[in-house]
Structure 1
Amino acid sequence: MIRHIVMWRVAGETEQQRADTRLRVKAAFEGLRARIPGMTGLEIGVDISRVDYACDLVLVAEFQSREALDAYATHPAHAEVREALDGLRIARHQVDYVIEC
């Protein structure tokens, strides 16, 4: 099993714009549930700490294998989400690792 974690900062001139963007990103990625072969779990969290160094959102997904994660990267549904959200995410951090059972 592979865990895929991505954290983003989102665009917005005002706090309301950023809040709207956070919800839009969250909803878009939640729409991928049950659409990606080999994805066994997907969770999206919105930061509640509001500290200045925190990211706005985190995605935690689990995949059956490295091949399933690689396929997710190019899956058409994932590509649609990336295109729809282009420019809304201004910083991105990622970690992928093997889950030791």
Structure 2
Amino acid sequence: MLTHIVFFKLKNREQDNIRHVRDTLLSMKGRIPELLELEVGADIVRSARSFDLALVSKFKNLDAMQAYQVHPVHQEIIAFMREQTESSAAVDYESEA
């Protein structure tokens, strides 16, 4: 199993926008076969070092994650997120099921 985590710091940090971006990310659920699990959460601490959103997704293996990366639905989300995001960070690691 491969876990893919991405943290997003948004340009617009108003709560309504954070919810909108979270919902947009969650719209991938059930639309990309390789995407086994998807969770998106908004930060509640809101400290200076916090990111606004965290995306946690799971894939069977690295090949499945790479197929997700080029899937048309994910490509639409990437375009949307480029407009919304000030910065991001990612971690990909092998995990237990």
Q: TM-score with structure 2 length normalisation?
A: 0.92
Shift of 1:85: 3.0
Determine helix, strand or coil for the equivalent of 1:35: coil
State the distance in 1 between where 2:83 and 2:28 align: 20
2:79 paired with 1:83? yes
Unaligned regions of 5+ residues in structure 1, if any?
A: none
Instruction: State which structure, 1 or 2, has the greater radius of gyration over its C-alpha atoms.
Output: 1
Aligned to 2:93: 97
Aligned ranges 1:8-87 → 2 under 5 Å: 8-12=8-12, 18-87=14-83
Unaligned regions of 5+ residues in structure 2, if any?
A: none
Determine helix, strand or coil for the equivalent of 1:58: strand
2:2 paired with 1:2? yes
Determine helix, strand or coil for the equivalent of 1:70: helix
**1:24-60 deviations in Å (ceiling 9; x for gaps):** 2211110000111221100000000011111000000
State the distance in 1 between where 2:82 and 2:23 align: 15
Letter in 1 for 2:8: W
Off by >3 Å, runs of 4+ in structure 1: none
Letter in 1 for 2:80: A
Determine if contact 1:5/1:58 at 8 Å carries over to the other structure. Answer: yes
Give the root-mean-square deviation of aligned CA atoms: 1.3
Equivalenced residues, count: 97
